[in-house]
């Protein structure tokens, strides 16, 4: 593993433990959750997506009152129009029954498509924060350069090696490598229905991205256990970012029905769907997703605006079957611990994995007595489930 | 990581290096490739799928002439009929143009659906081999018990925690945990179109399976590099199984066009498709897959029989656009090395990763000088791309 010639520090040089709480737009991420994670030695994130500029700034002020440790802010990139207006109109009609059922009008699909990007950038440059990450695209080089001048560390979310190269070219400090396992939106730079079904699993994507660019990697997607953190670090990531794992924490602002659904055995599968927002996002398969997913158009953020009221009404009615139950593929492993305890637990699991494997590889040579299945290891002891990993710190390069 | 109460040895107790060459039915796996891998300290596999019973037995005799090391044989489970005959007939009509183009009749969809399972079992029990693995289902407990009596180590391929529990219940010695990244067929026990799009990424699936069962785990899906092997071992797997990585070896029996396609930049994506066999399998997106994938029915092995002749004709015509170019998501990282060299390279990469992280976790505590981005690690050195893993041998439990 080589040092980044760009001189980019690994993001985990910014905080003590290689654990990042993923930004979760829509309410789950808030100053309380983010501060708790940062205080525990990880990196907490605020999610500016869907918020007003002022709402974002208020949260930044709040977290500064709660912790002096580094934290991050995530921005959604403005979205070019890719949708056919008639496809949005057809979907509006297909949602008419939902509107009646939840007694709520559908939203105006043209309620804005830039998420206040420029205004949010202006705030973050005037009053810099430690880390800014981007989702749904790559900022212009000038934007990333201005953050570099402000001392802000920048991260671009990527889902393919090509997107990682774009981030490298634009001057990002690091990439957040998001596997297909991740809950919520895929951070794909351009939503292309022709690419549906081609999303890449995290462990392969890390290897592909490391082959393509020399930037530090933050790994995300389906991570719920310290052993998985050990794994992505072994694969060459600098830190692990976890969303669903933190969504269920008491500090998280996610709706209680959403939190409960993570481990509710009624919900057995997750799927990528455009049903709620018009962009592929992974959620628990519920009635709304099953019914509307098959024909939902590629039309973000139009569909997001259309369904916002419906989802709120479903939550108010206590009906998880009409909510967007964003969840990563590891959702059933969620543990509803306070955020600081979760960070501690993850770190302990990771270090436990680390210690188990602290003998050097040479000492681990096995005999090959496959014929002797009564005592396969030849040591008279019970057979373990195999090798384990020792994960040390950053290399001394 | 706990020992397996069942007393199952980890599969990696059977051979020196935690590297398994995946069984690849259809020609890629052969005695030469499997023997080279076993001779190099890994575990080679023969693929009995699509072969006659005698063809399988001939290969077993051949590999015994090439190596005295352990090897495995993979069997396809018999498939219940799930297809609608009229859906197969419609697909047959949709393939008429292909039949004309390649000047080849379509095959008889009713050419058998059990892959000679019982006869192959009889051979393998009469003349036992070291390892037998199963794909597309879980054998009956009696079958696994008979292998246990014969001294054969048994592995069941699983793609969900529920399938892992079925394997545990039936008495398998280990599970081969196959992530959605894997090339070729998913080993799903029952093909259910309603579950399309719900396949789980390898790293999350390993954690889910380890939570569900106490069996040794062989990890497979998208693995191409030693760093990924280090990662799955860190995640708790006992060994890593690689298909696409070995497909391009000179010893592999895969068609040269298939081998070349792995790193041909014309082919940029893989997708799971029923176009070639009627069961989801991952291949490079080519003309045939793009054209017929969208409507190919869930009808295995009927569709396999239908298209066998077409695929052979396409290969003979030198046309990769009509072939089943099975490939895992890491295909572009393929290295056309002799199999023994590839095993050595993978092991060296894995041990390199291991050595980099050999300092204990405590020594790795970082400072938190995120403010000081000129010298983020506070050690005056260049910033590395983060932590790395030391992977030792099996635990001494």
Binary contact (A12, B386; C-beta < 8 A): yes
Q: Among B43, B228, B384, which would you mutate to test the A interface (most chain A Cβ atoms within 10 Å of its Cβ)?
A: B384
DSSP for B236-282 reads: T-SEEEESHHHHTSTT--S-HHHHHHTT-TT---EEEESTTTSS-EE
In chain B, the N- to C-terminal Cα span, in Å, equals 9
Binary contact (A391, B390; C-beta < 8 A): yes
- % of residues, chain A, pLDDT over 70: 86
Those residues of chain B that have pLDDT short of 70 are 1-13, 354-397
Q: Residue A355: its chain B contacts at CB < 8 A?
A: 360-361
Q: Among B285, B394, B397, which would you mutate to test the A interface (most chain A Cβ atoms within 10 Å of its Cβ)?
A: B394
Nearest alpha-carbon partner for B73 in B42, B44, B102: B44
Residue A14: what pLDDT? Answer: 80
Q: Residue B272: its chain A contacts at CB < 8 A?
A: 197
Top-confidence residue, B156 or A394? B156
Q: Residue B353: its chain A contacts at CB < 8 A?
A: 1, 234, 236
Number of A/B CB contacts below 8 angstroms equals 417
Burial-class residue B352 by CB neighbours within 10 Å (0-12, 13-18, 19+): middle
- Looking at residues A144-155, what average pLDDT do you find? 97
Top-confidence residue, A149 or B15? A149
Binary contact (A381, B397; C-beta < 8 A): yes
- Measured in angstroms, the CA of B60 and the nearest CA of chain A are apart by 17
Tokens of B16: 């020196």
Binary contact (B356, A214; C-beta < 8 A): no
Q: What is the pLDDT of residues A117-137, one digit of tens each?
A: 999 999 999 999 999 999 999
Residue B352: what pLDDT? Answer: 87
Q: What is the pLDDT of residues A160-211, one digit of tens each?
A: 999 999 999 999 999 999 999 999 999 999 999 999 999 999 999 999 999 9
Residue with tokens 């029990």: B125
The CATH number of B11-354 is 3.20.20.70
Of B151, B359, B376, the CB nearest to A13: B376
Binary contact (A70, B382; C-beta < 8 A): no
Binary contact (B392, A328; C-beta < 8 A): no
Of B70, B231, B385, the CB nearest to A10: B385
Binary contact (B207, A217; C-beta < 8 A): no
Q: Residue A215: its chain B contacts at CB < 8 A?
A: 385
Binary contact (B394, A386; C-beta < 8 A): yes
Residue A280: what pLDDT? Answer: 98
- Looking at residues A29-53, what average pLDDT do you find? 97
Phi-psi region of B137 (alpha: psi -120 to 50; beta: other; left: phi over 0): left
CA A47 to chain CA centroid, Å, is 11
State the SS3 of B27-63: CCCCHHHHHHHHHCCCEEEEECCCCCHHHHHHHHHHH
Contact between residue B249 and residue B337 where contact means Cβ atoms under 8 Å apart: yes
Top-confidence residue, A95 or A370? A95
Q: Looking at the structure, give the CATH architecture of the domain made up of residues A11-353.
A: Alpha-Beta Barrel (3.20)
Of B329, B393, B395, the CB nearest to A204: B329
Q: Residue B3: its chain A contacts at CB < 8 A?
A: 382-385
- % of residues, chain A, pLDDT over 90: 82
How many Å apart are CA B80 and CA B69, to the nearest integer? 36
Contact between residue B271 and residue A180 where contact means Cβ atoms under 8 Å apart: no
Of A210, A382, A396, the CB nearest to B397: A382
How many Å apart are CA B293 and CA B297, to the nearest integer? 9
Q: What is the pLDDT of residues A264-309, one digit of tens each?
A: 999 999 999 999 999 999 999 999 999 999 999 999 999 999 999 9
Tokens of A18: 């290689």
Binary contact (B383, A9; C-beta < 8 A): yes
Q: Residue B207: its chain A contacts at CB < 8 A?
A: 222, 224-225, 227-228, 330, 333
Binary contact (A153, B200; C-beta < 8 A): no
Binary contact (A208, B3; C-beta < 8 A): no
Residue B14: what pLDDT? Answer: 81
Question: Average pLDDT over chain A, rounded to whole?
Answer: 88
How many Å apart are CA A1 and CA A337, to the nearest integer? 34
Residue of A nearest to B225 (CA): A207
- Measured in angstroms, the CA of A64 and the nearest CA of chain B are apart by 15
- Say if residue A361's pLDDT is above 50: no
Residue A352: what pLDDT? Answer: 87
Binary contact (A328, B234; C-beta < 8 A): no
- Say if residue A358's pLDDT is above 80: no
- Say if residue A375's pLDDT is above 60: no
Tokens of B243: 């298909």
Of A201, A387, A391, the CB nearest to B357: A391
Q: Residue A388: its chain B contacts at CB < 8 A?
A: 1, 233-234, 236, 391-392, 394-395
Binary contact (A201, B208; C-beta < 8 A): no
Q: Among B204, B226, B233, which would you mutate to test the A interface (most chain A Cβ atoms within 10 Å of its Cβ)?
A: B204
In chain A, the N- to C-terminal Cα span, in Å, equals 9
Binary contact (B393, A366; C-beta < 8 A): yes
Tokens of A230: 């050990």
CA B43 to chain CA centroid, Å, is 13
- Measured in angstroms, the CA of B194 and the nearest CA of chain A are apart by 10
Domain chopping of chain B, boundaries: 11-354
- Say if residue A355's pLDDT is above 90: no
Q: Residue B328: its chain A contacts at CB < 8 A?
A: 204
Binary contact (A239, B386; C-beta < 8 A): yes
């Amino acid at each position: 593993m080589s040092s980044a010639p760009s001189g980019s520090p690994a993001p985990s040089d910014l905080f003590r433990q290689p654990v990042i709480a993923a930004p979760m737009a829509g309410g789950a991420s808030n100053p309380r959750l983010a501060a708790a994670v940062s205080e525990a030695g990880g990196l907490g994130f605020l999610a500016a997506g869907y918020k007003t500029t002022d709402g974002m700034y208020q949260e930044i002020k709040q977290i500064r009152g709660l912790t002096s440790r580094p934290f991050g802010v995530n921005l959604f990139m403005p979205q070019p129009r890719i949708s056919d207006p008639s496809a949005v109109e057809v979907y509006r009609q297909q949602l008419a029954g939902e509107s009646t059922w939840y007694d709520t009008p559908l939203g105006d699909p043209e309620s804005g498509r830039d998420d206040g990007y420029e205004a949010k950038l202006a705030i973050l440059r005037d009053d810099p924060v430690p880390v800014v990450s981007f989702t749904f695209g790559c900022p212009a080089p000038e934007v990333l350069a201005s953050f570099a001048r402000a001392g802000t560390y920048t991260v671009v979310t990527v889902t393919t090696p090509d997107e990682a190269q774009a981030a490298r070219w634009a001057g990002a400090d690091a990439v957040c490598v998001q596997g297909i396992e991740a809950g919520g939106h895929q951070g794909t730079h351009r939503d292309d229905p022709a690419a549906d079904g081609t999303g890449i699993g995290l462990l392969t994507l890390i290897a592909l991205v490391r082959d393509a660019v020399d930037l530090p990697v933050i790994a995300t997607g389906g991570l719920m256990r310290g052993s998985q953190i050990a794994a992505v670090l072994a694969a060459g990531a600098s830190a692990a970012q976890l969303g669903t794992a933190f969504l269920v924490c008491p500090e998280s602002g996610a709706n209680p029905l959403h939190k409960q659904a993570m481990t509710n055995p009624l919900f057995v599968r997750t799927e990528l769907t455009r049903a709620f927002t018009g962009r592929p996002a992974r959620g628990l398969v519920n009635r709304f997703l099953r019914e509307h997913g098959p024909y939902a158009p590629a039309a973000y953020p139009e569909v997001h605006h259309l369904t916002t009221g419906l989802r709120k009404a479903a939550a108010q009615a206590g009906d998880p079957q009409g909510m967007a139950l964003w969840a990563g593929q590891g959702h059933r492993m969620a543990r509803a611990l306070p955020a600081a305890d979760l960070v501690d637990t993850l770190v302990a699991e990771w270090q436990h994995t680390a210690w188990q494997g602290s003998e050097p590889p040479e000492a681990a040579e096995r005999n090959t007595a496959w014929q002797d299945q009564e005592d396969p290891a030849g040591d008279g002891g019970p057979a373990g489930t195999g090798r384990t990993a020792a994960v040390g710190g950053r290399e001394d390069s």
